Structure 1
């Protein structure tokens, strides 16, 4: 049936998109975000933005943020907290931040030497601007913090999306993952189409994690529709135009994130299984097709922690 044929082509294409998106998300979360401490840096930037109303004169903002991070409640959340070289936390609960800030404000109020510092006056001004008693209103400070983290989550998502797009472009061009070429190959080769659909069927579940071995198996199954070869090189100008269009189409598709394609794949598979099984004239599917299991929530977006945040995707809760 023509409808089943089109659906199988779509399933194969979505399966390829999902694999490449998952690879980009994995590289971002396991390599880039860790190396650049992306979540922790985004969280700190959000806290600085939150407290920026006190002004930056005399480094007051940096001093206040430093004191908050030195508070035992926050310090305990750091990696290697006992070390002088500990990394700042990538997640700070609202109650921990509120208590830490209140501790810092109260310490300045109780310290007679603090009169020499402009910070207490700046903190009082900050409290007036936010209509919060920074020394007492725990619930209000928590709400203030959570509202800030909601905005910071957006920062992190946009940053991850940019990283995923760049990674996707590099991988797509490097492996010649051309949407137009893939559609042509899947449409014309019933063996490859059947193999991809069978692999996609195994992916329509919710595994707990996706490691390097899982990704490797997945790419082994799509290697017949990707990769550079002498025959894949465009022969003329218009062929190059189509090649570029196909590569860019894949890149933009990948930037939508693995969770998006995983959900769409599940919908396609559910729709396919709910109908009458199509009559295939192509014979049995290719043998030895291994099953790929993919992470449903790896992405994107990342789950980040405060900044209210989130791994490009994915639910981000604080960076």
Structure 2
């Protein structure tokens, strides 16, 4: 019975965590947050701050999911043309634009792009592709890498300092320079991923609270219901205990015994607890599913202080994330992961 309790809690928290992750992924995909996050970093690194002197990459959580989706869009315009066979050299200081380097980098990687509302959808650039794109830009300059570095210094690109250090470390060897650029860019992408995950944790925390309150999932109540439900089913399965017949008779008094018993045994604790959501869906034995608005009952549960310790338990459990609860469920059931 206690093993069933652990299994039921892990399954419930896994399902709700998957819902939180799904909502977050839907928001990120609809608003193209990952792509905007990447190109905001590239603009800061390649061309520097924006026209207003502000960094393109948001500094606060509020900016990531407020400024990026609805304010400045750092992504280049999508182009369905292949990359130009010959890269265009960098402009001089007098003729440069605010996106000179970003535009030329996009031209070298636009083959992996597909349109999304007129903007690029590229959200990941492999380090090898970035290094090759830089080598192609260097080849377009008269003095190769030296000429590219001089142009970057002239237009005051923040990329100059990074590439200058890699060039000196590579002892002016092109192959070692290309590998050094790959290693540097790979490290930058890992740092950017950690920054992005730090921002997303706050969004997941908000979504976890919203899901907990939407379903009014009281973890303590669910555990108690699960224990009672499992004990009742075990006694019914035994058929030799008088309590089983008495319990069924009490539940099904005044109704069709066959239908009542079927409904009792086909409604596990998880289904019963989720019936307290703001909107519940009922699937009858015959006919179409029905949607029920539980506004009054939902508000009564939300405003009942005795449920809040259970809400807190559920909320903290959701903060662990779906991978954690999948691992717990796998350990309880003995399922082995295959790679």
TM category, shorter: 0.5 to 0.7
**Match of 1:90, SS?**
coil
2:230 is matched with which residue? 190
Separation in 2, partners of 1:191, 1:77: 57
The answer to whether the aligner puts 1:75 opposite 2:110 as a matched pair is yes
Map 1:1-319 → 2, pairs under 5 A: 5-29=1-25, 31-48=26-43, 50-51=45-46, 62-71=99-108, 74-80=109-115, 85-109=118-142, 118-119=154-155, 124-130=160-166, 131=168, 136=174, 137-190=177-230, 222-226=270-274, 227-228=276-277, 230=297, 233=300, 240=305, 242-270=306-334
TM-score normalized by structure 1? 0.60
Instruction: Report the alpha carbon displacement of residue 62 of structure 1 after superposing the two structures with TM.
Output: 3.8
Distance 1:123 1:23, change over 3 A: closer
Does 1 or 2 have the higher relative contact order (CA < 8 Å, sep 6+)? Answer: 1
Instruction: Report the alpha carbon displacement of residue 96 of structure 1 after superposing the two structures with TM.
Output: 0.5
- Per-residue CA deviation, residues 256-311 of structure 1 (Å, 9 max, x unaligned), is 2211111100111229xxxxxxxxxxxxxxxxxxxxxxxx9xxxxxxxxxxxxxxx
Distance 1:232 1:16, change over 3 A: farther
Is contact 1:78-1:87 (8 Å) kept?
Answer: yes
**Match of 1:76, SS?**
helix
- Per-residue CA deviation, residues 121-157 of structure 1 (Å, 9 max, x unaligned), is 8765443344467993110000001111111121222
| Structural RMSD (CA) | 4.0
Distance 1:105 1:231, change over 3 A: closer
Is contact 1:28-1:164 (8 Å) kept?
Answer: yes
- Per-residue CA deviation, residues 155-199 of structure 1 (Å, 9 max, x unaligned), is 2222332222222211210111111111121122227888xxxxx
- Per-residue CA deviation, residues 68-117 of structure 1 (Å, 9 max, x unaligned), is 1222xx1111113xx992423112111101111222244345699x9799
Separation in 2, partners of 1:49, 1:37: 18
Gaps of 5+ in 2: 54-92, 235-266, 278-293
Worse-superposed segment, 224-233 or 179-188: 224-233
The number of residues matched between the two structures is 235
TM-score normalized by structure 2? 0.57
